[in-house]
Structure 1
Amino acid sequence: MRFAHTSAGATVPPDTLPLPAAVDRAWAWGAATGRGVRVCVIDSGVDPAHPAVGGDVPLYAAEEAGDGTWRVVEDDAGDVAGHGTACAGIIRGLAPDAETTSVRVLTKNLRGNGEAMLAALSWAVDQGFDLVNMSLSTRKEALKERLHDLADRAWFKGVTLVSAAHNSPVISYPWRFPSVISVGSHAVDDPEYLEVNPDPPVDVFAAGVNVRVPWPGGGTKVVSGNSFATPHVVGLSARVLQEHPRFRTAQLRQVLAAVADNVDGRPARSRP
Structure 2
Amino acid sequence: MRPAYSAVFADTKLAACAPLEPIDAVTTQWAWEGSTGEGVKVAVIDSGVDATHPDVGPVQGYVAIREGEDLKLVYDTDPHEDSFGHGTACAGLIRSLAPDCDLYSVKVLGSKATGQGRVFAAGVRWAIDNGMQVCNLSLGTTKRDFFSIFHELADEAYFKNVVLVTAANNMPIPSYPSVYSSVISVASHDVQDPYVFYYNPNPPVEFGALGIDVDIAWQQHKRRKMTGNSYASPHMAGIVTKMLGKHPGLTIFQIKTILRELAANVDRNRVSRPPHLLGEDGGGAE
Range class of TM-score, shorter chain:
0.7 to 0.9
Matches within 5 A, 1:178-189: 178-189=181-192
Counterpart for residue 222 of structure 2 = 219
- The answer on 1:51 being equivalent to 2:67 is no
Amino acid at match of 2:80: A
Tell me how far apart the structure 1 counterparts of residues 67 and 158 of structure 2 sit (CA, whole Å). Answer: 27
Counterpart for residue 4 of structure 1 = none
Counterpart for residue 97 of structure 1 = 100
State the TM-score, normalizing by the size of structure 1. Answer: 0.88
Does the 8 Å contact 1:72/1:119 carry over to 2? no
Tell me how far apart the structure 2 counterparts of residues 20 and 82 of structure 1 sit (CA, whole Å). Answer: 40
Q: CA deviation at 1:104?
A: 0.9
Tell me how far apart the structure 1 counterparts of residues 71 and 244 of structure 2 sit (CA, whole Å). Answer: 37
Counterpart for residue 12 of structure 1 = none
Q: Which has the higher contact order (CA 8 A, sep 6+)?
A: 1
Counterpart for residue 13 of structure 2 = none
Does the 8 Å contact 2:48/2:80 carry over to 1? yes
- Number of positions where the alignment pairs a residue of Structure 1 with one of Structure 2: 249
Does the 8 Å contact 2:42/2:135 carry over to 1? yes
1:157-187 CA-to-partner distances (Å, cap 9, x unmatched) read 1111000000000011000001110000100
- The answer on 1:232 being equivalent to 2:268 is no
Tell me how far apart the structure 1 counterparts of residues 74 and 248 of structure 2 sit (CA, whole Å). Answer: 30
Q: Secondary structure at the match of 2:220?
A: coil
Which residue of 139, 162, 167 corresponds with 2:142? 139
Counterpart for residue 118 of structure 1 = 121
Q: Runs of 4+ in structure 1 displaced over 3 angstroms?
A: none
Counterpart for residue 23 of structure 1 = 26
Amino acid at match of 2:51: P
1:1-57 CA-to-partner distances (Å, cap 9, x unmatched) read xxxxxxxxxxxxxxxxx9643310111112001001000000010110001001334
Q: Secondary structure at the match of 1:256?
A: helix
Does the 8 Å contact 1:59/1:78 carry over to 2? no
Q: CA deviation at 1:99?
A: 0.4
Q: CA deviation at 1:66?
A: 4.6
Q: CA deviation at 1:258?
A: 1.1
- The answer on 1:207 being equivalent to 2:210 is yes
Matches within 5 A, 1:14-93: 20-93=23-96
Counterpart for residue 11 of structure 1 = none
Which residue of 248, 253, 269 corresponds with 2:251? 248
Tell me how far apart the structure 1 counterparts of residues 221 and 69 of structure 2 sit (CA, whole Å). Answer: 36
Tell me how far apart the structure 2 counterparts of residues 231 and 190 of structure 1 sit (CA, whole Å). Answer: 13
1:172-225 CA-to-partner distances (Å, cap 9, x unmatched) read 100000111000010001111111112211111100000000112111010000
Cα RMSD (Å) of the superposition? 1.5
Amino acid at match of 1:68: L
Tell me how far apart the structure 1 counterparts of residues 256 and 182 of structure 2 sit (CA, whole Å). Answer: 10
Cα–Cα, structure 1 residues 217 and 156, in superposed 2: closer, same or farther, change >3 Å?
A: same
- The answer on 1:160 being equivalent to 2:163 is yes
Q: Secondary structure at the match of 2:191?
A: coil
Tell me how far apart the structure 1 counterparts of residues 170 and 163 of structure 2 sit (CA, whole Å). Answer: 22
Kindly name which structure, 1 or 2, has the bigger radius of gyration based on alpha carbons: 2
What runs of 5+ residues in structure 2 fail to find an aligned partner?
A: 1-20, 270-286
Counterpart for residue 15 of structure 1 = none
- The answer on 1:259 being equivalent to 2:249 is no
Amino acid at match of 1:40: A
Does the 8 Å contact 2:134/2:163 carry over to 1? yes
Tell me how far apart the structure 2 counterparts of residues 127 and 76 of structure 1 sit (CA, whole Å). Answer: 17
Which residue of 94, 107, 111 corresponds with 2:110? 107
Q: CA deviation at 1:87?
A: 0.2
Q: Secondary structure at the match of 1:217?
A: helix
Does the 8 Å contact 1:128/1:157 carry over to 2? no
State the TM-score, normalizing by the size of structure 2. Answer: 0.84
What runs of 5+ residues in structure 1 fail to find an aligned partner?
A: 1-17, 267-272
Tell me how far apart the structure 1 counterparts of residues 175 and 153 of structure 2 sit (CA, whole Å). Answer: 15
